[in-house]
Amino acid sequence: MSTIHIESLLKKVEKPGRYIGGEFNEIRKDHAAAGTTFAFAFPDLYEIGMSYMGMQILYNIINHEESLLCERVFAPAVDMEKLMREEGVPLFALESKTPVREFDVLGFTLQYEMSFTNMLNMLDLAGIPLHADERGADAPLIIAGGPCAYDPEPLADFVDVFLIGDGEESLPAFLKLYGEYKAAGKSRKAFLQEAVKIQGVYVPRFYEPVYNEDGTLKEVRKLYDGAPDRVRKAMVQELDLAEYPVKPLVPMIEIVQDRAVVELFRGCTRGCRFCQAGMIYRPVRERSPEKIFAIADQVTKNTGQDEMTLLSLSTSDYSHFEEMATDLIDLCTERHVGLSLPSLRLDSFSFKVLNEIQKYRKSGLTFAPEAGTQRLRNVINKNITEENIFSSVRQAIELGWKHIKFYFMMGLPGETLEDLDGIADIAQRVMQLNREMHVAGSSRFNVTVSVSNFVPKAHTPFQWAPQDADFTEKHDYLSAKMKIKGVSFHYHDDPVSRLEAVFARGDRRTGYFLEQAWKNGCKFDSWSENYSAEGWQKAEDAFREKYGYGTDFYRTRERSYEEVLPWDIVDCGVSKAFLMREMEKAKEAVTTDDCRIRCNGCGVNTWAKCPLEGIHG
């Protein structure tokens, strides 16, 4: 193992605190004593990666295994990268400053598609060949996981192994097996052939896609008989038994989400048809209130953080929400810790709670109706009515909130101009309501409307749906309607949403598009100051040149139910028949009940325990 000297670089970069490690609760282990050394990479800046709880969870679990070692790696900012390249400093891990290429295994977490170019850039900066078939046994094994691994194909040429699903059990098992094979001097191939027996392990080189002439998939040929036909995601059934980091790392520099985080549950029973998280994290698995309280107690003690937030897809759906919230408010008040409760459904109890925790300083209230009319909300199965929205807004105004935020999506399947009118209409009527209510300080009241562009995702009922060819017209249309006093309107740029749509449902060929873009200097694509329209356009041209069609093929084309989908290799636990049924209901604007009312037959309970199905039926 070697150590890199970075002091002279640190003196020249904007934020040296990103590269030093050494935070409180950091875990350092001896490389020589470890059976497998693992570098955990988040392909974005330190401030972003350190805000991601999944890394803290796995860092903790792996390092608690005697034979394993885990260190962290982030994407260096543009200024640091430039110096590293100039001075020939390879990508290094924070804890020991060891070059990443000296680790046994390098793992990337893929949280969003627009970090893919950063992943390639980090491999290059580490001095590791990009393509799996160019790497020898001296290079680290490259693995990847996270929500974007549910369509692994765009990265299949670069990654040796994908770990799909919850990593708490599968990742340490995988790394230990690697250590055993390494110690026994067995080949990498032999290891991979054994590793596919671990649930959630997908080895792209064991499969070969065969294409039709039109570019669609004909079939996926298995090249190793022992590899599974489909890879079922790994899942932790009992969250209470999974180790949660009660001594998380406490960053020295300010990060994006600089607070203690307590995870309540995984999964969601609401079944919004656009939402990938709502499908791939099924079934809902809750932590017990006792465990949640114990975690909150220890995490605040062990970090000294003065803010805490709760993590789940829908806080108020937690079964023992009132009891849990009441206990946590007491704990936080006693310790001078600010508590934030994201994604609340605004009923009377929530208002009581919010009024309590935001006694002095009312931050904004957020609603996510996602669509402007009831019809379109039925299409996407977002079961929130206008009556729900307005009665909550009325209460909020009465209680003195002055800022309300709305989230909508644009380009949803079946959307018409009427649905966009509905967005403006809601904003208009909220302002109107405020004027009519005559509460103190009503002139300060304002509304923010944020509209994002719909990106169809793999493993959702909308996985067959096209993305809008162009959002510009709709943006212009809505912008004109949103010139309302007291309302500010934001929308996302469409180039990034388009690329997301390509990689969210891409096949193995899209890896070429990605690599070309990276070669043209594309990285940090979600940062508008870094986004290179030219780089991506040149990549598009190269792709068209090579395959005879453009990437709109993945984006704006409606797929048939019969088509073989690139991500069919991944079994997320929800059946394709269920997704088709949901898509058909969407076409008729028919809603599906929350799974707590009745089981909707998504298929997850055929292989896992679904503790909340039908409990309110």
Partner 1 sequence: MARYYLVFSKNGYAVYTSHLDMQRFFKRAFARAEIELAFSNGFNPHPKMSFAQPLSLGYSSQSEYLEFQTKEQMPAEQIKSRLAEVMPEGIGILRCVQLPDNGKSLAAMCVAASYRIFIRWDEDEMGCRADKFDMRGFLDQKEILVLKRMKKKKEPKEIDIKSKIREIEWAAQDNIIIMSTKLDAGSDSNLSPDLLIQAIGRYTGAVIPPENVEISRVDMELDGLNQ
Beta bridge partners of 232: 571
**Closest CB to partner 1 among residues 308, 424:** 308
Tell me the residue ranges of DSSP E strands in 80-172.
Answer: 105-109, 141-145, 161-163
- Provide the residue count of the chain: 617
Measured distance CA(235)–CA(205) in Å, rounded: 24
- Of 41, 56, 58, 174, nearest to 116 by C-alpha is 41
Least Å from the CB of residue 145 to partner 1: 29
Q: For residues 7 and 213, which CB has a smaller minimum distance to partner 1 in the complex?
A: 7
Taking Cα atoms as reference points, which of 416, 411, 409 lies closest to residue 375? 416
For 45, the token pair is 């800046």
Query: Shortest CA distance to 111 belongs to which of 78, 141, 156, 145?
Result: 145
Give the three-class secondary structure for 450: strand
Minimum distance of partner 1 from residue 361's CB (angstroms): 8
Alpha-carbon torsion 581, 584, 590, 594, what sign?
Answer: positive
Q: Kindly tell me which of 77 and 496 has the beta carbon lying closer to partner 1.
A: 77
Binding site for partner 1 (CB under 8 A): 7-8, 10-12, 16-17, 20-24, 26, 250, 252-254, 300-306, 335-336, 360
Q: Is 10 exposed, middle or buried (0-12, 13-18, 19+ CB in 10 A)?
A: middle
Structure-block tokens of residue 438: 């005559």
* Cβ nearer to partner 1, comparing 7 with 214: 7
Tell me how crowded residue 327 is: count the other CB atoms within 10 A of its CB: 17
Q: How far is the CB of 51 from partner 1 (least distance, A)?
A: 15
d(CA 128, CA 609): 42
Q: How far is the CB of 164 from partner 1 (least distance, A)?
A: 35
Beta carbon of residue 24, minimum distance to partner 1 (angstroms, whole number):
4
**Of 337 and 412, CB closest to partner 1:** 337
CB of 571 to partner 1, least distance (A): 43
Rounded to 10 degrees, the C-alpha dihedral 170/176/182/185 comes to -100
* Distances, alpha carbon 20 to alpha carbons 4, 46, 88, 352, 570, in Å: 12, 10, 18, 43, 38
∠ CA 338-341-346 to the nearest 5 degrees?
135
> Hey, what are 292's tokens?
């949640």
* 5/598 with CB nearer partner 1: 5
d(CA 459, CA 476): 31
Type and span of the H or E element at 448 = strand 446-453
Q: CB of residue 304 vs partner 1: minimum separation in angstroms? A: 3
Find out whether 308 and 259 touch, Cβ atoms under 8 Å: yes
Between 298 and 319, whose beta carbon lies closer to partner 1? 298
Using the minimum distance from each CB to partner 1, give the nearer residue, 182 or 362: 362
- Rank residues 363 and 416 by Cβ distance to partner 1 and give the closer one: 363
- Reading the block at residue 224, the tokens are 């190793």
Measured from the CB of residue 94, what is the shortest distance to partner 1 in angstroms? 10
Which CB, 17 or 43, lies closer to partner 1?
17
Token pair belonging to 242: 């999974």
Q: What tokens were used for 395?
A: 């209460």
Residue 9 Cβ vs partner 1, minimum distance, rounded to whole Å:
8
Q: Please, which residue, 97 or 555, has the CB nearer to partner 1?
A: 97
Annotate 189-217 with three-state secondary structure.
HHHHHHHCCCCCEECHHHEEEEECCCCCE
Q: How far apart are CA 148 and CA 502, in angstroms?
A: 12
Least distance (Å) between residue 530 CB and partner 1: 24
Residue (9 or 126) nearer to partner 1, CB: 9
Which residues lie closer than 8 Å to 584 by C-beta, 6 or more apart?
A: none
> Measured from the CB atom, is 298 or 448 closer to partner 1?
298
How would you write 13-75 as a 3-class SS string? CCCHHHCCCCCECCCCCCHHHCCEEEEEEECCCHHHHCCCHHHHHHHHHHHCCCCEEEEEEEC
For the bound state, the minimum distance from the C-beta of residue 355 to partner 1, rounded and expressed in Å, comes to 18
- The dihedral formed by the CA atoms of 114, 116, 122 and 128, expressed in degrees to the nearest 10: -170
Task: Considering the complex, state which of residue 253 and residue 599 has its C-beta at the smaller distance from partner 1.
Answer: 253
Min dist CB 6 to partner 1, Å, is: 9
Nearer residue to partner 1 within complex by CB, 20 or 196: 20
Between residues 12 and 230, which has the closer beta carbon with respect to partner 1? 12
Nearest approach in angstroms of CB 434 to partner 1 is: 24
CB burial string 508-538: b at 16+ within 10 A, e below: bbbbbbbbbbbbbebbbbbeeeebbeebbeb
Catalogue the E-assigned strands of 461-577. 487-491, 570-571
